[in-house]
Structure formats: C-alpha cells, structure tokens
C-alpha cells in the first residue's frame, strides 16, 4: 500500500481526499488528518483490526490506551455512561476545541481502546476537515501523527514519507495549519463518587486559567 496525499487547498482535491479517506476508514485502514492542535492518525473505533493498525503505525505497545474524536456533544452523550453537569459545561464551552474529557464509558460499547479501565477519552477537534470527516464516519479512534519517541511533523509531505505504507491517506490542512500542540486533558471519572472532583491530567492548548473561568478551582482535586 502506498500512502496517498491530498493537499485539499482546492475544492476538487478536498472532495477527492475526503472520499478516499472515508473509503480507507471503511476498509479498516489508518488515515492522517489535520486537527486544531497537531496532525492525528485516525481509524474506525469499532473495528479491532483498525485500532491495532493505528497502534502499529505509531509503534505503540499492545493495549496502549487510545482516545476518540467525536463529531459533537450528542456523541459524547451516546458514548459516555453518564455526562455530569461539569462535563456538559466544559464541552459546551470548549468544544470544538483542544480539550479532551475522560469519562466513564458506556457499557454497551463494543470496542477495545486498550487499558482504559472502563473509561473513554473524547474530544471534538476544531478543524473543518476533521469535523466533516467525523460527521460522515462517526467516532474515530485517534492518536498523534508521530511515531513513538519521535517529534511531531507539520508538513503533509513529511507525514506521507514517515508513514508511507502504514497509513492509507494523508489529508493536508490547507489554510488551517496544525502545529505541534497537544490538548488539555481533564479526568471526570470520579464525579459519581461522594465529593468526587475533576482532575487536570495535562495542561495543553487550553490554559488552566480558562478552565477555571468556567468551572471553579475548588471543583478540582
């Protein structure tokens, strides 16, 4: 398999690239897409072989936990066992955007995202190409588009070269150029416990000060 690159600056190339990306995901293959933080590798979250292919593309160990891109807040409610008020507030304020929310996974989900201990990490990226693809495919398992131990790349050509043969399609970002940022991650899985609190796992592109302007600091452990 040779990796196809679609730069997407022209409408015809964007349409062609999106069609190829959808087909690749339908076949259980891995696709590289732009996001509002960095480029990401995505695949069908409900197909075990596709999830494993994504891990293999990044050189991740078996069982390494993976997060999921979603097209909107309704999908958050569909995938989470419950959506606490604080979670709904954070999603409403920062989605689409660079905020990942870890929530209890719905019991009916038939997927294996690795050693997640019954949780799922969800994000709605603020990138029109990513969101258009998600609106057509549904939730996609995702991880940063760089091999473990290496630096992120921001050039579609460099991404095509690095992942040639293991990623089916690379979609360029056109005018919405990703960098090497990471999302801010908040763990909300303890909210169902007495006096349960949120926990900031990682501060990334969304500053903690912005988080505290929406949810008071005392709501965090």
Per-residue pLDDT tens for 11-24?
999 999 999 999 99
Mean residue pLDDT of the chain comes to: 94
Q: What is the pLDDT of residues 36-45, one digit of tens each?
A: 999 999 999 9
Q: What is the pLDDT of residues 113-148, one digit of tens each?
A: 888 888 999 999 999 999 999 999 999 999 999 987
Tokens of 97: 């955007």
Tokens of 168: 């089916």
What one-character-per-residue DSSP string does 174-203 give?
A: TTS---S---EEEE-TTTTSTT--BEEEE-
Tokens of 218: 């005392």
Asked if residue 192 has pLDDT above 90, the reply is no
pLDDT at 174: 82
Tokens of 54: 């994504």
Asked if residue 108 has pLDDT above 70, the reply is no
When pLDDT is averaged across residues 77-93 and rounded to a whole number, the result is: 96
Tokens 């940063």, located at residue: 144
When pLDDT is averaged across residues 71-85 and rounded to a whole number, the result is: 94
pLDDT at 55: 94
Kindly state the percentage of the chain with pLDDT values over 70.
99
Kindly state the percentage of the chain with pLDDT values over 90.
81
In this prediction, residue 106 has a pLDDT band, given cuts at 50, 70 and 90, of confident
Q: What is the pLDDT of residues 158-180, one digit of tens each?
A: 999 999 999 999 999 988 889 88
For residues 181 and 60, is the Cβ–Cβ distance under 8 A? Answer: no
- Cis geometry, peptide bond prior to residue 96 (ω within 30 degrees of 0): yes
Exposed, middle or buried: residue 149 (CB in 10 Å: 0-12, 13-18, 19+)? exposed
In this prediction, residue 111 has a pLDDT band, given cuts at 50, 70 and 90, of confident
pLDDT at 115: 83
Weakest mean pLDDT among 46-50, 97-101, 190-194: 190-194
- Map out the domains of the chain with their CATH numbers: 4-219 (3.90.870.10)
Tell whether pTM > 0.85.
yes
When pLDDT is averaged across residues 151-157 and rounded to a whole number, the result is: 90
Three-state secondary-structure class, residue 73: helix
pLDDT at 22: 98
Q: Give the span between the Cα atoms of 44 and 68, in whole angstroms.
A: 10
């Amino acid at each position: 398999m040779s990796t196809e690159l679609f730069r997407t600056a022209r409408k015809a190339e964007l349409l062609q690239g999106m069609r190829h990306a959808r087909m690749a995901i339908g076949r259980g293959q891995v696709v590289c897409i732009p996001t509002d933080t960095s480029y990401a590798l995505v695949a069908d979250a409900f197909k075990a072989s596709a999830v494993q292919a994504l891990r293999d593309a990044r050189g991740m160990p078996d069982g390494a936990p993976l997060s999921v891109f979603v097209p909107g807040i309704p999908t958050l409610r569909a995938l989470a066992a419950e959506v606490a008020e604080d979670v709904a507030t954070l999603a409403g304020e920062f989605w689409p955007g660079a905020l990942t929310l870890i929530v209890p996974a719905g019991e009916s989900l038939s997927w294996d995202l690795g050693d997640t201990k019954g949780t799922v990490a969800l994000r709605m990226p603020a990138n029109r190409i990513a969101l258009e693809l998600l609106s057509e495919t549904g939730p996609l398992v995702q991880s940063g588009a760089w091999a473990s131990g290496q630096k992120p790349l921001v050039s579609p050509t460099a991404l095509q070269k690095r992942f040639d043969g293991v990623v089916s399609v690379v979609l360029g970002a056109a005018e919405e150029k990703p960098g090497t940022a990471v999302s801010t991650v908040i763990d909300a899985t303890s909210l169902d416990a007495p006096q349960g609190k949120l926990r900031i796992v990682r501060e990334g592109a969304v500053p903690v000060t912005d988080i505290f302007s929406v949810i008071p600091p005392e709501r965090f452990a």
